[in-house]
Amino acid sequence: MITIRIAVGLLGCALIVTETAGAGPVDPAMVSHTCAGCHGTLGASLGDAPVIAGLPEQYFLETMLNYKTGSRYSTIMGRLAKGYSQAEIEAMARFFAAQPWTTQPQQTDPAQVERGKELHTSRACAACHGPDGTPSAPNPAIPSLSGQFAEYLVTQLEDYRDPGTAIPPAALPMRAMVQGLTDKDFRALGQFYASQQPPAANEQ
């Protein structure tokens, strides 16, 4: 399949980018199963790579496209996202959005969880992320944090705080939100969300 994308370059001239996405139509399962080696079968990670099963379709799509263009920093995802066409990323986004949010129990320290909960409350995180890390009403742009892996959440908070790290425009409010928080605060927040197992996570 060949898709032609017209991009406007820095100098204002139109460039035609030809993208060869293979000879046949995109098979959603085929492209999505390539992720499982790092993100677990059907995206249900066993940690510390993030759970991607059940991410909102729009969030998944935007995340991958941001990795692809470099608007979101990553260690490895940028290199991988560049290998998939828009159509393939759209197929993956639908595939993973159709999976249930599947988390694993994580060892957490009660004192840290308590501290994280205080921060979650005092920083008004719940306004967007819901009382336990899951938005009260499904939001296509905001993933659930409940039960997500603590170590992964900490990396994301670090990226939000560091002004030299690329984050997408949609995440800019987070850059403001986390200023003044310490590494210790990040660990506490990570532990709090990790401890919030969504109800009946494994029975959906």
Binding site for another protein (CB under 8 A): 20-31, 33-42, 44-49, 75-76, 79-84, 88, 95, 98-100, 102, 151, 155, 158, 204
Smallest separation (angstroms) from another protein to the CB of 185: 17
Tokens at 160, concatenated:
């939000």
Considering the complex, state which of residue 53 and residue 125 has its C-beta at the smaller distance from another protein.
53
Smallest separation (angstroms) from another protein to the CB of 19: 10
Considering the complex, state which of residue 45 and residue 196 has its C-beta at the smaller distance from another protein.
45
Considering the complex, state which of residue 121 and residue 204 has its C-beta at the smaller distance from another protein.
204
Separation between Cα atoms, residue 43 and residue 50, nearest integer Å: 9
Considering the complex, state which of residue 47 and residue 140 has its C-beta at the smaller distance from another protein.
47
Smallest separation (angstroms) from another protein to the CB of 72: 14
Among 58, 98, 100, smallest CA distance to 198 is for: 100
Smallest separation (angstroms) from another protein to the CB of 75: 5
